[in-house]
């Protein structure tokens, strides 16, 4: 979303503190987003780039990088506000923190990190995930926090007896800013299953896990996990120490209320107004996932489907794929470099635009080409590691248009496998909302996703801002939660006049993608062979 608002009213909002600040720690960027008295309007933004790294076989980020990135993104937002409106914000009406869901941050009683942060991307937990799925009777994915914790228990890791608390990245940042160890229900539902009736961790399942863990943990599970809060609930306020963590200059005032910290899945749902039954959203970045709000419980346990919640606690089926648009971006970067080497340099945005437009002229089934975007393991596809591949037969039509269509289809391939499982369960969609940078080129990725899902796909003006704007909206909801539900707040005050483009599925695209997906499924054996050979 491009910041837009008259400079006078925006300046007044900033000076009066009629603003909400959202910060989301994504997999490649930490983004800050400021909104004013009209939550649909972005006033200023800031960001910082970072990358995960593989250490001792596990994907991680350093906690020093967390704070350096947060400070850089916050400083960039303050500078952007000053450039636009001539004023530097020193306080906000509300603040919210979001981050990548799942993963494992374990601390001792003194609050010291016991082992490096283990992110959602790690797939080293198959034994724990399988044991917990059997024990609890619900699918426990490899990336869930409880799977990481139990794998450490199963492996007898030396740090396990010292664990005093376990948290997600958003929960950790929120605790350092406020002193409160609480977590939004959507993010908490990726740590341990939530009971829809209580809006808290499922007590029966907690008791079952405590019996399984026995004396291998220092405390009952519920004492190790953060307290659960729904959207709009009190989650503490910015302390003086927290203010200095975010703004070392000392200009930021303490006392700002914070909303419950949420995961990127929940903020994506808010950013796309997909919190009602028969709606859903697709978020595409380093990973790609779909969230579908359920009308009724699923009839069985499916390894492709996670059961999580909206930020308000309503049941959601989640199809999460570890690999999203990174491989697509790598190919775009290759073509960008070729243009520069040929003496005709183009910007990154122009390269994406040209390549995406070229894909529109490709054959509906991508001409027999296959593209696998697996940089990391992919549980839905049965892969413990990834090997990006492009595969074709001698009879394939190897054109740039087909190549780019295959790459775009490849982003949606594993996601479509999981969505087919939901369709077999009888789950129906009125509309899917999509957000993420790959949807910035109008009418391309959106159209192909509609063909892949066989459902209308909507893209709104905030598609490229995504979760940072979503958590800013959740922060703004704090002042309205006593009077209106989150769904009504989004409908009436955030999206009432939103500019939304809808792409209906083209029957030719639907048939073409179905043919592509049949080949894609069969070709997973090639992926598995590549993992074994290389």
Per-residue model confidence as pLDDT tens digits over 182-220: 999 999 999 999 998 999 999 999 999 999 999 999 999
Ramachandran class of 432: left when φ > 0, alpha when ψ lies in -120 to 50, beta otherwise: beta
Largest CA distance in the chain: 67
Name the 3-class secondary structure at 227.
strand
In a domain, 479, yes or no: no
* Residue predicted with more confidence, 498 or 22: 22
**Segment 46-64 mean pLDDT:** 95
Q: Are residues 226 and 292 in the same domain?
A: no
Q: Residue 106: which of 243, 261, 237, 217 has the closest Cα?
A: 217
| pLDDT at residue 435 in the model | 81
Instruction: Tell me the C-alpha distance between 18 and 26, whole Å.
Output: 26
Name the 3-class secondary structure at 282.
strand
> Is a pLDDT exceeding 50 seen at residue 3?
no
| pLDDT at residue 8 in the model | 65
Q: Residue 317: which of 289, 353, 283, 356 has the closest Cα?
A: 289
Q: Are residues 318 and 173 in the same domain?
A: no
In a domain, 470, yes or no: no
Q: Give the tokens for residue 474.
A: 């959740």
| pLDDT at residue 4 in the model | 47
Alpha helices in 39-184 (DSSP H): 63-85, 126-136, 145-154, 169-178
Q: Are residues 291 and 254 in the same domain?
A: no
**Segment 269-280 mean pLDDT:** 90
**Segment 119-142 mean pLDDT:** 94
Q: Are residues 250 and 277 in the same domain?
A: no
Q: Are residues 221 and 302 in the same domain?
A: no
In a domain, 485, yes or no: no
Q: Are residues 128 and 36 in the same domain?
A: yes
Of 204, 232, 260, the domain-final residue: 260
Q: Are residues 256 and 302 in the same domain?
A: no
> Is a pLDDT exceeding 70 seen at residue 381?
yes
DSSP E strand stretches across 288-424: 288-293, 306-309, 315-321, 370-372, 389-391
Which residue in this structure is represented by tokens 């003006």?
461
Q: Are residues 329 and 208 in the same domain?
A: no
Q: Are residues 359 and 229 in the same domain?
A: no
Q: Count Cβ atoms below 10 Å from residue 148 Cβ, excluding itself.
A: 28
Q: Are residues 193 and 301 in the same domain?
A: no
| pLDDT at residue 460 in the model | 78
Q: Rounded to an integer, what is the distance from CA 342 to the centroid of its chain?
A: 37
In a domain, 255, yes or no: yes
Q: Are residues 92 and 186 in the same domain?
A: yes
Instruction: Tell me the C-alpha distance between 273 and 267, whole Å.
Output: 10
Return phi, psi of residue 115, to 5°.
Answer: -140, 155
Q: What is the CA radius of gyration of the chain?
A: 22
In a domain, 309, yes or no: yes
**pTM of structure:** 0.84
**Lowest-confidence range among 154-168, 218-232, 263-277, 401-415?**
263-277
Q: How many domains does the chain have?
A: 2
Average pLDDT, the chain: 94
Whether 93 and 43 have beta carbons less than 8 Å apart is answered as no
Instruction: Tell me the C-alpha distance between 199 and 210, whole Å.
Output: 20
Of 220, 235, 260, the domain-final residue: 260
Return phi, psi of residue 262, to 5°.
Answer: -130, 165
In a domain, 105, yes or no: yes
Instruction: Tell me the C-alpha distance between 486 and 476, whole Å.
Output: 11
In a domain, 268, yes or no: no
Q: What is the DSSP letter of 492?
A: I
**Segment 234-261 mean pLDDT:** 98
DSSP E strand stretches across 203-339: 227-229, 262-263, 279-284, 288-293, 306-309, 315-321
Q: What is the DSSP letter of 173?
A: H
CA distances from 244 to 29, 62, 70, 71 (A): 21, 19, 11, 9
**Segment 363-377 mean pLDDT:** 96
**Segment 376-392 mean pLDDT:** 93
Q: Give the tokens for residue 492.
A: 């009436």
Domain housing 412: 273-461+504-534
Task: Give the tens place of pLDDT for each residue, 508-529.
Answer: 999 999 999 999 999 999 999 9
* Residue predicted with more confidence, 506 or 465: 506
Q: Are residues 250 and 305 in the same domain?
A: no
Q: Residue 470: which of 264, 317, 310, 313 has the closest Cα?
A: 264
Of 211, 232, 260, the domain-final residue: 260
Name the 3-class secondary structure at 304.
coil
Which residue in this structure is represented by tokens 């024990």?
135
| pLDDT at residue 1 in the model | 42
Whether 100 and 27 have beta carbons less than 8 Å apart is answered as yes
In a domain, 475, yes or no: no
| pLDDT at residue 462 in the model | 54
CATH number at residue 379: 3.30.420.40
Ramachandran class of 283: left when φ > 0, alpha when ψ lies in -120 to 50, beta otherwise: beta
Q: Are strands 20-25 and 29-35 parallel, antiparallel or unpaired?
A: antiparallel
Instruction: Tell me the C-alpha distance between 378 and 36, whole Å.
Output: 40
- One DSSP character per residue, 8-75 reads HHHHHHHHHT--EEEEEE-SSEEEEEEE-SSTTSEEEEEEEE---EEETTEEE--HHHHHHHHHHHHH
> Is a pLDDT exceeding 70 seen at residue 386?
yes
Which residues partner with 292 through β-bridges? 280, 317
Task: Give the tens place of pLDDT for each residue, 106-117.
Answer: 999 999 999 999
């Amino acid at each position: 979303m491009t910041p837009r608002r008259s400079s006078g009213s925006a300046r007044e909002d900033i000076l009066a503190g009629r603003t909400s600040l959202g910060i989301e720690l994504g997999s490649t960027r930490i983004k800050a987003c400021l909104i004013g008295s009209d939550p649909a309007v972005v006033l200023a933004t800031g960001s910082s780039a970072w990358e995960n790294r593989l250490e001792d076989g596990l994907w991680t980020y350093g906690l020093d990088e967390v704070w350096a990135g947060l400070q850089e993104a916050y400083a960039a937002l303050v500078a952007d506000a000053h450039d636009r409106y001539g004023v530097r914000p020193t306080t906000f009406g509300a603040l919210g923190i979001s981050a990548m869901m799942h993963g494992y941050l374990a601390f001792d009683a003194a609050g010291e990190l016991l082992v490096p942060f283990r992110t959602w991307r790690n797939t080293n937990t198959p034994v724990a995930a399988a044991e917990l799925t059997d024990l609890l009777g619900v699918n426990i994915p490899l990336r869930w926090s409880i799977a990481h914790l139990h794998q450490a228990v199963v492996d007898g890791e030396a740090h396990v007896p010292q664990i005093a608390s376990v948290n997600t990245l958003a929960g950790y940042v929120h605790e350092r800013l406020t002193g409160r160890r609480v977590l939004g229900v959507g993010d908490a539902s990726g740590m341990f299953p939530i009971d829809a009736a209580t809006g808290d961790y499922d007590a029966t399942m907690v008791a079952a896990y405590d019996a399984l863990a026995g004396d291998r943990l220092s405390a009952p599970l519920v004492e190790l996990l953060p307290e659960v809060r729904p959207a709009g609930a009190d989650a503490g306020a910015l302390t003086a120490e927290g203010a200095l963590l975010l703004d070392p200059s000392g200009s930021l005032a303490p006392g700002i209320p914070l909303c419950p910290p949420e995961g990127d899945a929940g903020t994506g749902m808010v950013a796309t107004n997909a919190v009602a039954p028969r709606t859903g959203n697709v978020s595409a970045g380093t990973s790609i996932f779909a969230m579908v709000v359920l009308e009724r419980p699923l009839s069985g346990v499916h390894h492709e489907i996670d059961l999580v919640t909206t930020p308000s606690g309503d049941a959601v089926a989640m199809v999460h794929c570890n690999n999203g648009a990174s491989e697509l971006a790598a190919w775009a970067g290759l073509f960008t470099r070729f243009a520069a080497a040929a003496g005709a340099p183009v910007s990154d945005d122009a390269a994406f635009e040209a390549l995406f437009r070229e894909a529109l002229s490709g054959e509906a089934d991508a001409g027999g080409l296959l593209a696998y975007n697996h940089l990391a393991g992919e549980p839905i596809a049965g892969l413990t590691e990834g090997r990006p591949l492009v595969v074709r037969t001698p009879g394939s039509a190897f054109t740039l248009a087909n190549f780019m269509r295959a790459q775009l289809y490849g982003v949606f391939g594993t996601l479509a496998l999981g969505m087919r499982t939901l369709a077999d369960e009888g789950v129906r969609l009125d509309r899917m909302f999509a957000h993420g940078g790959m949807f910035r080129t109008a009418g391309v990725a959106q159209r192909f996703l509609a063909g892949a899902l066989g459902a209308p796909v909507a893209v709104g003006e905030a598609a490229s801002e995504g979760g940072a704007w979503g958590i800013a909206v959740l922060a703004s909801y704090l002042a309205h939660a006593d009077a209106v539900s989150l769904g009504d707040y989004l409908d009436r005050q955030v999206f009432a006049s939103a500019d939304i483009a809808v792409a209906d599925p083209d029957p030719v695209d639907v048939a073409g993608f179905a043919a592509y997906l049949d080949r894609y499924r069969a070709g997973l054996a090639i992926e598995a062979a590549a993992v074994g050979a290389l």
